[in-house]
């Protein structure tokens, strides 16, 4: 089960009109007033209506009407919406997936509760005691029980005034606020009338405070939006200024087109070089010219020349027939001459080939120079923007064109803000409204310490007192009532552990000893963290009654100091919320007013505990307007 949205109008503790959407995880809701908004109570009243208009108690002071709606998503992805007029009619809607519209299912309170139960929610007591947290649930806020004797005996209805009556669940808040009545009197009537006047004044002042707080919140929200928009515009302008342009890079204006053509240019260069190489091969020009050995290194030339010279000398020196040897020198010299002519022809051929090769080299160099200049400009452009490929270059150079429309839109929005006359004095307006709210708050604190009962409750008590003074007595209750043994001098608290453990056993379908064996270590971890290790172990008996262990002593839960008992209860509730939330995926709702229970230095730790539970299921944490929001997945104003 996931809470998707909450919409309220004229609801006590919320802004005059608010609509917030939720996501899974740990979400903090900041109330406009110092007292956290009654999210848990309102959610229970919506999904478990009593059919008698009990949700009218959430109507904002001074408001003539109020309305609240809650959207839920079940585990089968069905979306439900409960909408109620506070103190009036309500209706359950279901989202039609085909039309994407909500359709009314029923307006009957019983059918609404039954349908919500069928979607995955447990019974109201189970959901309230396991998945909602409020200060009123703390054991120190509940009626105390006698430590001398726990049993009650049946007594006649006309028992003596000294006998103690069993208290109803509706008596607890009255017992905390005032002592038992001593009977009707004129002085009491005057005190009640004075209290009624103060209550009306407090209600009216609270109504004005809510209005001022709502105006301050709206003005602060608008100022924050203005500052955020200004920051976005400045950041966008700075980013636009840093975006590269051909001029800022010292490149030609058509550099983008050149980079775009670089691929085609390279292809053209390769084709031209390939064509040149084909022509060179067809002309029979090798890459390197033939190697021609010098004539003086030719053994044949040297041998024939030497032989001819030898024969010539022999013909000159000899006489007679020996002179004819000189004629034999002619063939030797002829062969040497032929070798010399061949050497000259090879030199001429190599010279002609070298000339042709030089022509081709010149053409190749011309191609390299022609295409190399364009390639060097493109490579320089890539290096300046630190791009490895042309695609990266295009992306970087297109950044300015992409940023300009966004900057223009932000400039238009900022101009609209500045054109609004209310924006000019927003900071002064916020400061003035906060001062006005603080003055009202101080005045409220001066009236009965800032607390007053509801005027209707005081009016009913005045009416009863007047009837008693006039001689009328309430009708006696029929039948017998039970009386408790009078409270002894030493008082203890009721053990708060059995009730949530019994409900958790139903959730997990396990008996109490088995369930406690699973969650015991985790509960001890929470308790040690919240109490600075003053207690290091917890035991539960078969009935769920707790005993805690401190160094050198063992203490029953009911005998703990009020604050430590509250911390034990919170440790157990956090453990059950963690385990049950992970299994059922039901949301956990907290109305945070635990400042008097959890030390200031433990508030951050408490928030981390809630954030951990938020990783397992949805956690909605309501805080007062002056509280600093803890680290959460989202912080929303209600």
Same domain for 253 and 380?
yes
With cut-offs at 50, 70 and 90, classify the pLDDT of residue 288: low
pLDDT of residue 294: 81
pLDDT of residue 523: 92
The verdict on residue 502 lying in a domain is no
Percent of the chain scoring above 70 in pLDDT: 85
How many domains does the chain divide into? 2
Residues 113-145 have pLDDT tens digits of: 778 777 778 888 888 888 898 888 888 877 554
pLDDT of residue 608: 87
Q: How far is CA 501 from the centre of its chain?
A: 33
Highest mean pLDDT among 398-402, 434-438, 516-520: 516-520
The verdict on residue 614 lying in a domain is no
pLDDT of residue 549: 92
pLDDT of residue 453: 60
On the question of pLDDT at 547 being above 90, the answer is: yes
CA dihedral for 264, 270, 274, 277, sign (positive or negative): positive
On the question of pLDDT at 178 being above 50, the answer is: no
pLDDT of residue 167: 32
442: containing domain = 185-244+385-474
The verdict on residue 178 lying in a domain is no
The verdict on residue 124 lying in a domain is no
Highest mean pLDDT among 142-146, 205-209, 222-226, 502-506: 502-506
Q: Hey, what long-range contacts does 543-552 have (CB within 8 A, 24 or more apart)?
A: 543/498, 543/512, 544/495, 544/497, 544/498, 544/499, 544/501, 544/502, 544/512, 545/495, 545/497, 545/498, 546/495, 546/497, 546/572
The verdict on residue 22 lying in a domain is no
Please state whether the predicted TM-score (pTM) of the whole model is above 0.85. Answer: no
Average pLDDT of span 56-70: 85
Residue 585 or 222, more confident:
585
Mean pLDDT (the chain, rounded)? 78
Q: Count Cα atoms within 13 angstroms, Cβ side, for 557.
A: 25
Same domain for 197 and 264?
no
Same domain for 266 and 340?
yes
pLDDT of residue 605: 86
pLDDT of residue 454: 62
Highest mean pLDDT among 19-23, 218-222, 475-479: 19-23
With cut-offs at 50, 70 and 90, classify the pLDDT of residue 538: very high
The verdict on residue 546 lying in a domain is no
pLDDT of residue 492: 67
Same domain for 302 and 411?
no
On the question of pLDDT at 163 being above 50, the answer is: no
Average pLDDT of span 326-341: 85
> Which residue has 């997945």 as its token pair?
633
The verdict on residue 310 lying in a domain is yes
């Amino acid at each position: 089960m996931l809470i998707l949205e909450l919409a309220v109008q004229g609801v006590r503790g919320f802004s005059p009109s608010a609509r917030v959407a939720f996501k899974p995880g740990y979400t903090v809701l900041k109330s406009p007033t110092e007292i956290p908004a009654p999210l848990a109570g309102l959610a229970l009243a919506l999904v478990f209506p009593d059919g008698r208009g009990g949700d009218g108690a959430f109507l904002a002071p001074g408001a003539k009407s109020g309305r609240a709606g809650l959207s839920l998503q079940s585990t089968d992805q069905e979306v439900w919406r409960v909408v109620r007029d506070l103190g009036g009619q309500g209706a359950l809607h279901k989202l039609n997936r085909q039309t994407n519209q909500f359709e009314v299912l029923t307006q009957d309170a019983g059918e609404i509760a039954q349908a919500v139960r069928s979607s995955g929610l447990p019974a109201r007591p189970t959901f309230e005691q396991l998945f909602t947290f409020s200060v009123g649930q703390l054991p120190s806020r509940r009626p105390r029980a006698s430590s001398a004797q726990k049993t009650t005996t049946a007594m006649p209805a006309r028992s003596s005034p000294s006998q103690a009556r069993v208290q109803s669940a509706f008596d607890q808040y009255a017992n905390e606020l005032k002592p038992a009545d001593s009977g009707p009197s004129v002085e009491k009537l005057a005190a009640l009338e004075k209290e009624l006047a103060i209550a009306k004044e407090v209600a009216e002042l609270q109504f004005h405070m809510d209005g001022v707080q709502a105006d301050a919140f709206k003005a602060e929200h608008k100022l924050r939006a203005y500052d955020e928009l200004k920051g976005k515009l400045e950041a966008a302008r700075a980013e636009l200024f840093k975006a590269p342009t051909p001029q800022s890079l010292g490149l030609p204006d058509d550099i983008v087109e050149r980079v775009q053509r670089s691929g085609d240019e390279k292809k053209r260069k390769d084709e031209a070089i390939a064509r040149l190489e084909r022509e060179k091969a067809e002309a029979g020009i090798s890459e390197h010219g033939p190697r021609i050995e010098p004539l003086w290194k030719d053994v044949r030339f040297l041998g024939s020349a030497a032989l001819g010279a030898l024969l010539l000398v022999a013909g000159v020196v000899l006489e007679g027939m020996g002179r004819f040897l000189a004629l034999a020198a002619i063939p030797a010299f002829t062969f040497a001459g032929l070798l010399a002519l061949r050497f000259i022809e090879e030199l001429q051929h190599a010279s002609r080939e070298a000339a042709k090769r030089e022509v081709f080299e010149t053409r190749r160099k011309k191609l390299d120079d022609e295409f190399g200049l364009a390639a060097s400009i493109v490579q320089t452009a890539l290096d300046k923007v630190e791009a490895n490929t042309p695609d990266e270059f295009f992306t970087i150079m297109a950044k300015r064109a992409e940023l300009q429309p966004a900057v223009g839109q932000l400039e238009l929005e900022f101009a609209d803000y500045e054109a609004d006359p209310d924006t000019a004095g927003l900071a002064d307006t916020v400061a003035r409204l906060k001062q006005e709210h603080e003055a009202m708050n101080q005045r409220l604190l001066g009236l009965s310490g800032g607390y007053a009962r509801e005027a209707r409750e005081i009016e009913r008590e005045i009416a009863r007192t007047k009837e008693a003074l006039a001689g009328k007595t309430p009708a006696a209750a029929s039948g017998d009532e039970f009386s408790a043994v009078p409270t002894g001098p030493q008082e203890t608290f009721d053990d708060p552990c059995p009730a949530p453990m019994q409900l958790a056993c139903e959730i997990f379908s396990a008996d109490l000893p088995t369930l406690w064996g699973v969650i015991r270590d985790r509960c001890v971890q929470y308790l040690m963290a919240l109490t600075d290790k003053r207690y290091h172990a917890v035991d539960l008996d078969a009935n769920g009654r707790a005993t805690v262990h401190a160094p050198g002593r063992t203490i029953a839960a009911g005998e703990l100091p009020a604050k430590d008992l509250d911390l034990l209860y919170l440790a157990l509730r956090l453990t059950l919320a963690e385990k049950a939330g992970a299994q059922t995926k039901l949301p956990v709702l907290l109305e945070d007013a635990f400042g008097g229970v959890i030390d200031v230095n433990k508030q951050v730790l408490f928030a981390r505990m809630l954030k951990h539970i938020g990783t397992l299921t949805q956690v909605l944490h309501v805080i007062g307007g002056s509280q600093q929001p803890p680290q959460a997945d989202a912080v929303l104003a209600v």
